[in-house]
A and B are shown apart, each in its own frame.
Chain A
Amino acid sequence: MTALRTRTRRLILPPEPRRRIQTWAEGLYPGEACGLLLGREDQRDPNALHVVRTFLARNLFGEESTERYEVDPVDLLAAERAAAANNLQVIGVWHSHADQQAQPSDLDLEHAWEGWSYLIVAVTRAGVAQMRSWRLDTSRRGRRRFQEETVEA
């Protein structure tokens, strides 16, 4: 008997966009840095997304905010336009957690949208410690929960 298996989703984050996110997250520490991920679906694996470009966005709570972020919609619009012009999609959002784990908070869950990857960057005074990515899942009776996806180079 063949068991049905749920395939883990994958976010492919090459070294250059990873380095840019790391630089922004460390540069704005202890503030919460945030931005957008532009990319495309893998042509062979529908469970894989490739990050091609990254955007830094303004945090409407201010650069000094250590506990909240909200992406300036003007920056999201710029990212959507850049994606459309380059045959890409805005595939997700990244933000940093200063001196916290790279796990989504209740606030992250409350604000999440299905279909996007949410890359969380744990950063301390010593630098970026970890990057983990999550996707909103409402498939179980509409209950909102995050499912982790792997982050690969």
Chain B
Amino acid sequence: MKKLHLPVPLRLHTDGSACLELPGATVGDLLEAAIRTHQALRERVLDAAGDILEAVHVFVDARDIRELDGIGTPLEDGANVWLLPRVGGGTGAAA
């Protein structure tokens, strides 16, 4: 099993759990397992093509999956996967 850690904004769309224990050979499998139970997560994490939204970072242990194999990144048993909102803003105009 793997651990999927959820920040507060995504816990609103589950049963409130900070961490879900789920099966999954890859990051994509793990996210699909979470979405099967908590369908509202899909539009907040994945785009229509099934890729991770720009507004979300996914880390496996301490590494961003964009530096690894994306949603195809393999997961070892006991891996910790973190969903992290992209946090930004400011006074300037949007880029």
Given contacts A65-B90, A108-B89, contact A73 B59 (CB under 8 A): yes
Q: Which of A4-12, A13-21, A112-120 contacts B (4 or more CB under 8 A)?
A: A112-120
Docked Cα-Cα span, A91 to B86, in Å, equals 15
Max chain A CB contacts within 10 Å: which of B8, B85, B87?
Answer: B87
Kindly state whether residue B57 has any CB partner on chain A within 8 Å. Answer: yes
Residues of A contacting B91 with CB < 8 Å? 32, 66-67, 97-98, 100, 105, 107
Given contacts A73-B57, A77-B84, A80-B84, contact A105 B8 (CB under 8 A): no
Instruction: List A contacts of B11 (CB < 8 A).
Output: 115
In the complex, whether B68 has a CB less than 8 A from a CB of chain A is: no
Given contacts A77-B59, A77-B62, contact A91 B8 (CB under 8 A): yes
User: Which B residues contact A (CB, under 8 angstroms)?
Assistant: 5, 7-9, 11-12, 18-19, 55, 57, 59, 62, 64, 82, 84-95
- List the 10 shortest-distance A-B pairs measured between CB atoms, nearest first: A67-B92, A70-B88, A108-B89, A113-B9, A68-B90, A71-B87, A115-B9, A73-B57, A115-B8, A111-B89
